[in-house]
């Protein structure tokens, strides 16, 4: 195996919400542009030659194409995706020229720029390539295959005993494609009633499970660039409903803090959407806030679901489940703890949209103000402006 190239084998080896958002962008914002940037939260030191290895791996993605079988899988399992979109996806190919990679000593910079409908697919594969190459080029040895399977089996059996449903959400910071494949196979074999699907469309397809996801922070971040911070949540939700007409009904709440989100998540949206996703801040506080919000609107919280997806492990899931039981529906998206628990420290890396160019507009910095201040991303001046406009202290 060439250590300097980590190769993708499927266009669908990506998170499902990237495709569902891409579908929405093509319908609503086909001329919009976006810029993304790599953020090294963990301050990881990259070995000499890393940028070249990543460049080679990115360049190799140009040949990926949606297969006939993959198109059929999407057509059958995701009927809310228009046939015109599936035809587009069949003709889509990555353009490595949209990605700029630079290295200065142990620091790596990655920038992506282009039409939003195209560049939206880069984030997750880039992160998984960075992670896989980091371990490979540092010659870090992982647990053997048998242990990876045994650890995964133990985890999913514990979740089964807990009586909760679990989806695999670990593509972006997985140890490697092979580990991801081993984990998914073990989840499928031993998952019982607990294992309900994967955010990774490729692995969902080959394991015969449901692809899971709706939208990400960038959906609302773009809406802020186009419509302003006060209208970002409201119009982001409205446009999602206009595209999906009731399907894919889990709303992400923390792009500009959950408190601000719930100011506009009124009775109409609360009834239209099946539930919300928690991605930052204290999960128990979030659950309490969400339950109270539904009750205030006269909606039974047990008819709704919270998808918890923030840095989960068994202990955290058990604590959340104990609190939510009998109060509100719940499910869990477990990521890195499944796909990168192989005897070494997982990376802490992200790629975020940093600027958007709506049609007829101009390049505008975008920000994310999650419920955890340490997860704020974006231009400092724009963060202060957003906080002032939204009355966030």
Distance CA 228, CA 222 (A): 9
pTM: 0.97
Which pLDDT band, with edges at 50, 70 and 90, does 259 fall under? very high
> Which residues are paired to 197 by β-bridges?
167, 210
Q: Convert the pLDDT of each residue in 229-256 to its tens digit.
A: 999 999 999 999 999 999 999 999 999 9
Please say if the pLDDT value at position 4 is more than 80: no
Please say if the pLDDT value at position 265 is more than 90: yes
Distance CA 292, CA 307 (A): 17
Structure tokens at 344: 């070494």
Please say if the pLDDT value at position 142 is more than 90: yes
Of residues 4 and 227, the one with the higher pLDDT is 227
Fold observed for domain 145-339: nicotinate phosphoribosyltransferase (3.20.140)
- Report the greatest alpha carbon distance in the chain: 59
- The answer to which of 147-161, 354-368, 374-388 has the lowest mean pLDDT is 374-388
Please say if the pLDDT value at position 220 is more than 50: yes
Distance CA 244, CA 237 (A): 11
Q: Rounded to the nearest 5°, which phi and psi values hold at 34?
A: -145, 155
Identical fold for domains 16-141+347-380 and 145-339, yes or no, is yes
Structure tokens at 204: 């969902």
Read off the DSSP letter of residue 256: B
> What pLDDT is recorded for position 373?
78
Residue whose C-alpha is closest to residue 371's, from 231, 208, 262, 298 = 262
Q: What is the mean pLDDT of residues 366-386?
A: 92
Task: Provide, rounded to the nearest whole percent, the portion of the chain with pLDDT above 90.
Answer: 96
- Contact (CB, 8 A) for 60 and 5: yes
The matching CATH number, chosen from 3.30.390.30, 3.30.1510.10, 3.20.140.10, 3.40.1190.20, for 16-141+347-380 is 3.20.140.10
Q: Convert the pLDDT of each residue in 39-61 to its tens digit.
A: 999 999 999 999 999 999 999 99
User: What residues contact 104, with CB distance under 8 A and at least 6 apart?
Assistant: none
Distance CA 326, CA 371 (A): 25
What's the order of all strands across the beta sheet hosting 33-39?
A: 99-104, 107-115, 33-39, 350-357, 364-365
Residue whose C-alpha is closest to residue 224's, from 386, 112, 75 = 386
Question: What b-and-e string marks burial along 182-209, b requiring 16 or more CB atoms within 10 Å of the CB?
Answer: bbbbbbbebbeebbbbbbbbbbbbbbeb
Please say if the pLDDT value at position 1 is more than 50: no
Q: Convert the pLDDT of each residue in 59-95 to its tens digit.
A: 999 999 999 999 999 999 999 999 999 999 999 999 9
- Contact (CB, 8 A) for 216 and 127: no
Q: What is the mean pLDDT of residues 13-28?
A: 98
Which pLDDT band, with edges at 50, 70 and 90, does 6 fall under? confident
Q: What is the mean pLDDT of the chain?
A: 97
Structure tokens at 22: 């891409």
Helix (H) / strand (E) element for 98: namely none
> What pLDDT is recorded for position 2?
61
Task: Provide, rounded to the nearest whole percent, the portion of the chain with pLDDT above 70.
Answer: 99
Distance CA 319, CA 90 (A): 43
Structural domain boundaries of the chain?
16-141+347-380, 145-339
Q: What is the mean pLDDT of residues 111-121?
A: 98
Residue whose C-alpha is closest to residue 166's, from 317, 43, 361 = 317
- Contact (CB, 8 A) for 182 and 333: no
Please say if the pLDDT value at position 211 is more than 60: yes
Question: What b-and-e string marks burial along 87-124, b requiring 16 or more CB atoms within 10 Å of the CB?
Answer: eebeebebebebbebebeeeebebebbbbbbbbbbbbb
- The answer to which of 186-195, 289-298, 358-367, 371-380 has the lowest mean pLDDT is 371-380
> What pLDDT is recorded for position 3?
65
Strand 107-115 with 99-104, pairing: antiparallel
């Amino acid at each position: 195996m060439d250590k300097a190239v980590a190769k993708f084998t499927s266009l669908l080896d990506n998170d499902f919400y990237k495709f569902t958002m891409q579908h929405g962008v093509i319908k609503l914002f086909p001329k919009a542009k976006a810029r993304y940037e790599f953020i090294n939260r963990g301050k990881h030191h990259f070995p000499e030659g890393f940028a070249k290895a990543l460049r080679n791996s990115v360049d190799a993605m140009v040949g990926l194409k949606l297969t006939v079988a993959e198109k059929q899988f999407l057509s059958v399992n995701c009927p809310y995706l228009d046939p015109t979109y599936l035809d587009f996806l069949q003709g889509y190919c990555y353009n490595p020229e949209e990605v700029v990679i630079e290295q200065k000593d142990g620091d790596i910079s990655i920038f992506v720029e282009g039409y939003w409908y195209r560049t939206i697919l880069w984030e997750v594969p880039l992160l998984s390539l960075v992670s896989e190459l980091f371990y490979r080029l540092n010659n870090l040895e992982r647990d053997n295959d048998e242990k990876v399977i045994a650890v995964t089996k133990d985890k999913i059996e514990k979740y089964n005993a807990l009586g909760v449903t679990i989806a695999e959400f670990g593509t972006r910071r997985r140890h490697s494609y092979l580990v991801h494949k081993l984990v998914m196979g073990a989840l499928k074999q031993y998952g019982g009633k607990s294992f309900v699907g994967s955010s990774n469309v490729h692995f969902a397809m080959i394991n015969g499970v449901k692809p899971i996801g709706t939208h990400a922070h960038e959906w609302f971040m773009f809406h802020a660039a186009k419509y302003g911070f006060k209208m970002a949540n409201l119009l982001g939700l409205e446009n999602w409903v206009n595209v999906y007409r009731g399907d894919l009904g889990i709303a992400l709440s923390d792009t500009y803090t959950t408190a601000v989100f719930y100011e506009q998540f009124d009775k109409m949206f609360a009834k239209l959407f099946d539930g919300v996703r928690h991605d930052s801040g204290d999960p128990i506080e979030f659950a309490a806030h969400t339950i109270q919000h539904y009750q205030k609107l006269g909606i039974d919280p047990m008819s709704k679901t919270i998808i918890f997806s923030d840095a989960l492990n068994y202990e955290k899931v058990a604590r959340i489940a104990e609190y939510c039981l009998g109060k509100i529906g719940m499910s869990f998206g477990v990521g890195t703890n499944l796909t990168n628990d192989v005897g070494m420290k997982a990376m802490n890396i992200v790629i975020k949209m940093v600027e958007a160019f709506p049609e007829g507009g101009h390049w505008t910095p975008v920000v994310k103000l999650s419920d955890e201040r340490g997860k704020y991303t974006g231009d400092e001046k724009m963060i202060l402006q957003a906080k002032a406009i939204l009355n966030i202290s």
